[in-house]
């Protein structure tokens, strides 16, 4: 069983979108994935998102995705929510991935906006509801127009929120005004998908984060959200400001690249990246060390 959830926080408050460790020859490193997952949950994560963008899902096969979810569940499934990324730009394929994730034992699904083919809002609505209909698992939408090319419109979010299994949204739209309206009108549990906006989104009604920087600063994120929820906005703001160099540094280039570099610097499982992703250059790693040190991260 996954940890207890509430309608307000169906997946907890602090989740990390976990990288997928590979071996030196590029194969899936399931032992490394289990060690990394355990480390992240020990650090304070309520949940882990597996097979998301940061998990290099575009370059892992369906069988690898299932194996990865299974391995992480074996490592931490009784202590954390394990959310499987199943979104693609093919509704039928997404349904297959969702059903496999359910059979594997995942606690929930992350479904990204279909990318590249740029469907209209009605297409988005049908896609998300078809995937949600395919299993009995709770669904977190993932709204990231910078990658998908299409935002989930507020009216579409309102319609989607009527589905009994669509319970949350990961917001990487970068628009606090739209987020404010959507939170107010949908009642969905709102999770920041943009680390720089973690605190601002809490201020308009978000309940937590699906973070990339959680790989290196989960305890700080946990303290930030707990301070905010308890009413200590000043403390939350101080932590937010302390983490600004980390937020900036981890996204100077593609986040999975810097995350794997940071994990390697800390001696944690990461491994190489699959093409077309590439490793950080020596200059990028030097800058990353400066940024992380400025945010108090020990390397």
Catalytic member of 170, 191, 228, 260: 170
Identify whether 276 is preceded by a cis peptide bond (ω within 30 of 0).
yes
- 229 located within any domain: no
170 as an active site residue: the answer is yes
CA angle 171, 245, 16 (to 5 degrees): 40
Q: What is the DSSP letter of 281?
A: P
State the pLDDT at residue 1.
Answer: 46
| 289, 299 contact by CB (below 8 A) | yes
- 6 located within any domain: no
**φ and ψ at residue 190, rounded to 5 degrees:** -105, 125
- What mean pLDDT, rounded, does the chain reach? 97
- 108 located within any domain: yes
- Overall number of domains in the chain: 1
CATH number for the domain harbouring residue 98 = 3.20.20.70
- pTM here is 0.97
pLDDT band at 7 (very low <50, low <70, confident <90, very high): confident
- Report whether pLDDT(56) > 60: yes
For the segment 35-49, the average pLDDT, to the nearest whole number, is 98
142 as an active site residue: the answer is yes
- 270 located within any domain: no
- 165 located within any domain: yes
Could you give the 3-state DSSP secondary structure of residue 102?
A: helix
pLDDT band at 212 (very low <50, low <70, confident <90, very high): very high
CA-based R_g, the chain, Å = 18
- Dist CA 150 CA 291 (whole Å): 32
- Report whether pLDDT(2) > 80: no
- 249 located within any domain: no
- Report whether pLDDT(139) > 50: yes
- Report whether pLDDT(6) > 90: no
Domain that holds residue 88: 14-218
Strands 139-143 and 208-211: unpaired
pLDDT digits (tens, 9 = 90+) for 111-128: 999 999 999 999 999 999
State the pLDDT at residue 4.
Answer: 65
Catalytic member of 65, 115, 125, 142: 142
- 255 located within any domain: no
- Report whether pLDDT(257) > 70: yes
pLDDT band at 3 (very low <50, low <70, confident <90, very high): low
- Dist CA 35 CA 79 (whole Å): 14
For the segment 204-216, the average pLDDT, to the nearest whole number, is 98
Which residue bears the tokens 């083919």?
A: 117
Residues in the chain: 299
- Tokens representing residue 89 in the block: 């730009």
- 5 located within any domain: no
pLDDT band at 189 (very low <50, low <70, confident <90, very high): very high
**φ and ψ at residue 79, rounded to 5 degrees:** -120, -10
């Amino acid at each position: 069983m996954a940890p207890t959830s509430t309608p307000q926080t169906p997946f907890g408050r602090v989740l990390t979108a976990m990288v997928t460790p590979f071996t030196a020859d590029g194969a899936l490193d399931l032992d490394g994935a289990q060690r990394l997952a355990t480390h992240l949950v020990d650090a304070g994560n309520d949940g882990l998102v597996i097979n998301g963008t940061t998990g290099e899902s575009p370059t892992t096969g369906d069988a690898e995705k299932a194996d990865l979810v299974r391995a992480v569940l074996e490592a931490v499934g009784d202590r954390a929510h394990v959310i499987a990324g199943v979104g693609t730009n093919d509704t039928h394929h997404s349904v297959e991935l969702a059903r496999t994730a359910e059979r594997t034992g995942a606690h929930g699904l992350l479904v990204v906006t279909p990318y590249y083919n740029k469907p209209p809002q009605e297409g988005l609505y049908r896609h998300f509801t078809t995937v949600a209909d395919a299993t009995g698992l709770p669904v977190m939408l993932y709204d990231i127009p910078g990658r998908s090319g299409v935002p989930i419109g507020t009216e579409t979010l309102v319609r989607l929120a009527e589905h009994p299994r669509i319970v949350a949204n990961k917001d990487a739209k970068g628009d606090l005004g739209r987020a404010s309206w959507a939170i107010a009108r949908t009642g969905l549990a709102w999770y920041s998908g943009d680390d720089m906006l973690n605190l601002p989104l809490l201020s308009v009604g978000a309940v937590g984060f699906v973070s990339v920087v959680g790989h290196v600063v989960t305890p700080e994120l946990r303290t930030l959200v707990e301070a905010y929820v308890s009413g200590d906005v000043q403390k939350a703001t101080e932590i937010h400001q302390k983490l600004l160099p980390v937020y900036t540094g981890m996204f100077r280039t593609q986040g999975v690249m810097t995350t794997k570099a940071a994990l390697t610097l800390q001696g944690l499982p990461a491994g190489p990246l699959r093409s077309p992703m590439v490793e950080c250059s020596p200059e990028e790693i030097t800058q990353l060390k400066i940024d992380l040190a400025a945010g108090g991260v020990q390397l």
